[in-house]
A and B are shown apart, each in its own frame.
Chain A
Amino acid sequence: MSSQARGRRAFKFILPALLCMLFVHIIPIFWGAYIAFIDLDIYTITRWMQAPFVGLRNFFTVFSPATDVGVRYLRSIWNVVYFGLITIPAGYFIGLLVALLLNRKFFGRTLVRGLILLPYITPDSVAYNVWRFIFQARIGIVNKYLLALGLIEEPIIWLVGDRAIYAVMIASVWKGWPFACLVLLAGLQSIPQELYEAAKIDGASSFGLFRFVTFPMLRPVSATLLLLSAIWNFHAFNQFYILLGADPGKTHVPSTFILQEAFTNFHFGQGAAMSVFLTVVVLLMTVAILRVRRRGEEW
């Protein structure tokens, strides 16, 4: 069989998958981007083919601090950035500590390694619903313990107002650190034993071993992990939606806000504009991740 015939045959095999990709991914993505440039709202939704083209107006609206939607979108972006700045390092730090512990030999290590994955493999809906109960003002155990320890005098409202984002952070870190741990543990195990031996011969202390061998060797895997977490962070949705409800008010993140604006309030054009921006940000991060990976191979 000539290589051309082989190619044609291969193409036939992947054609169904390609078609699926085309209809499920590619067309909707471009269609979604196109919507960002038309005035698609409650008045035009049933005649969407005739919705007027408005250029960049939707983008100006959603980024304008003078409009209600703009103020709220900008706040939602700040929220997700702030959320990531706390949860990603926290998850990384806990994950690293536990990974270092699990990298030692001890009885029952395999079992413990399996157990720590529990938060990660629990479905989001289940885990965050449980956290919602934990943070309830009247019946939640957080307040119960805080009251018992005498740290607070009356129940604190966690899931509403300024504290809400911290409650979501705690739940998210709990849910997310095992993944960091797993990745870092894999990274730790790929570090050649000889490096440690050589360093020991050179008289390195155990902190020195970490500082000069373990940590640098973990750099590529850490960079990938942190960037991946940052990407996931940008479309954080489940934890906010489940813990705080469909309308988290001041604690909106872009995903929950877009859902509400586009699909509940019928501002599809503006919703699409917000999504396009989000996509661009995530794309840039993905480029960064690919660069880091390539550099990682050189390290």
Chain B
Amino acid sequence: MRKSWVLVVVFLWAVLTSVTALGKGTITFWLMPNAPDETHIPWLEEKAKEFEAQTGYKVNFEVIGWGEAWQKISVALASQTGPDVFQVGTTWNPQFAATGGLERLDLAEFGGAEAFMKANYISTTYKGESYGVPWFAETRCLFYNKDMFAKAGVQPPATYDELKVVGKKIVETFGEGSAIAIAGTNAWDLLHNWAIVLWAYGGDLLTPDNEQAAFNGEAGVTAMKWYASLILDGLAAKACAEYNQPQADAAFINGNVAMCFMGPWNIAGIEQENPDLPYDVVEPPAGPVKRASFSGGSNLVILKGSPNKEAAKEWIKFLLSKENLVDYTKNLSHMLPAKIEAFEDPYYNTGVWQVFKKTLGYATAYPPLAVWGDIENAVVREFRNILTAVASGHYSEDTVRLYLDKAAEKVNEALARER
């Protein structure tokens, strides 16, 4: 009998100590697989140790796939349990902020709003307040195959009109569909591909006050017709209509296609899949009005119900220190830092990184709205219908306007729900 009492006491002591270990002084950090596990996990373990030595706070990290991240975060927001600090995609940040589940942050604590790339800062805001800290940034540029360009006797295009001319020459040399690979109906990030053309043609997704859809105006119709014409004129393969982004990327990386809009993360893919690919990167071509690019990336946010907000903030500051940020973006994620001071690192003045850095300078973020998800879905849905019409041969002069008007109607329906 006495023996079992001893066991019970030991058990209770063990439970209590482990609970205290989990309580104050320990934070849980959720992040996405921003780098291959083999390099990512050891880096995180090392940094967590370093952080613990510096501050006394322990960090438990958990890497969550992008596919399930939205779901898991939704649950965490609703239940206010789970992670103390976590990574969110830039377009997610305002929507999660609207739920009221994220901690409002004073960016002054993290170096001030001006310390970050502007578009990334905007992505953390909701109704003028910040609910996250920009971590890393990405933008898409035009990758091109130097050999194919040389054989076709063309130079990288500076405008979207030029891209069509260059593309036609490449098709003459290498056959139909060989000029460019574009994302189609299966791409979850389809909107990013069109938005940059839309902006370059002087259009915008919404009116400046974010009250009405604006993409179905003249600029929008022209920009969408341009996108569809890539397939209709044979510059892109018809199969592109159903591609997702990785399929489009693969067509370029395998050396079958001369151009593709891709991001910095693809560089690692090229090094792995086809290191001999003779490629270079240029800024996205200019439209009649301006040059434009899409700003994406990830932010770090704190759960409102977290009992360890101070430790969570310290961890964010630690990850954003110049040294850690440069190391993480340069050697692991192959993204761009979202903090301006990190660009002082000489690495960002070399080769393709210069191009990405410059492009990121004028990159645009989507409007920070709670109903953004509905808006993006509505536009992408009609965008898909346009591509489907292209692929199935039902495309006519009126197709683009018809579907864009439809999308605008639904976007306005969604905007009416924004509070």
Contact = CB atoms under 8 A, between A and B. Distances in A.
A245 B186 contact: yes
B71 A137 contact: no
Contacts of A266: 74, 95, 99, 373
Contacts of B419: 43
Nearest to B376: A265
A138 B100 CA distance: 46
Contact of B74 (A67, A155, A263): A263
A8 interface: no
A46 B304 contact: yes
Nearest to A40: B78
Contacts of B70: 263-264
B95 A137 contact: no
A31 interface: no
Contacts of A159: 186, 242
The secondary structure that dominates the A interface is loop
Contacts of B370: 42-43
B91 to A, nearest CB: 13
Given A137-B242, A249-B385, A265-B377, A45 B413 contact: no
A163 to B, nearest CB: 8
What 3 pairs across the A-B complex have the smallest Cβ distances? Answer: A161-B388, A46-B101, A138-B239
B330 interface: no
Contacts of A250: 385
Please classify how large the interface on chain A is, using the bins under 10, 10 to 19, 20 to 34, 35 or more: 20 to 34
Contacts of B377: 247, 260, 264-265
B142 to A, nearest CB: 23
B384 interface: yes
A22 interface: no
B366 to A, nearest CB: 16
B98 A157 contact: no
A67 B409 CA distance: 11
7 contacts: A155-B238, A157-B239, A161-B388, A161-B392, A247-B381, A249-B381, A264-B70
Contacts of B391: 157, 160-161
Interface in A122-173: 137-138, 154-155, 157, 159-162
Contacts of A45: 74, 77-78, 99, 101
A156 to B, nearest CB: 9
Interface string A41-59: 0110111100000000000
A260 B387 CA distance: 21
Interface string A253-267: 000000010011110
B209 to A, nearest CB: 20
Contacts of A162: 392
A67 B384 contact: no
A298 interface: no
B188 interface: yes
A48 B241 contact: no
Contacts of A297: none
Contacts of A155: 238-239
Interface in B365-414: 370-371, 373-374, 377-378, 380-381, 384-385, 387-388, 391-392, 410, 413
Interface in B315-367: none
B211 to A, nearest CB: 18
Contacts of B99: 42-43, 45-46, 266
A68 interface: yes
A45 B80 CA distance: 10
A246 interface: yes
Nearest to B411: A68
Nearest to A47: B100
A160 B384 contact: yes
Contact of B388 (A137, A160, A245, A246): A160
Contacts of B101: 45-46
A46 B371 CA distance: 16
A264 B304 CA distance: 21
Nearest to A250: B385
Contacts of B95: 42, 266
B90 interface: no
A67 B413 contact: yes
Nearest to B187: A245
A77 B410 CA distance: 21
Contact of A68 (B184, B373, B413): B413
Contacts of A161: 388, 391-392
B238 A157 contact: yes
Interface in A61-104: 67-68
B185 interface: yes
Contact of B80 (A43, A46, A264): A46
A250 B384 CA distance: 10
A46 B381 contact: no
Nearest to B242: A160
A72 to B, nearest CB: 9
Contacts of B374: 265
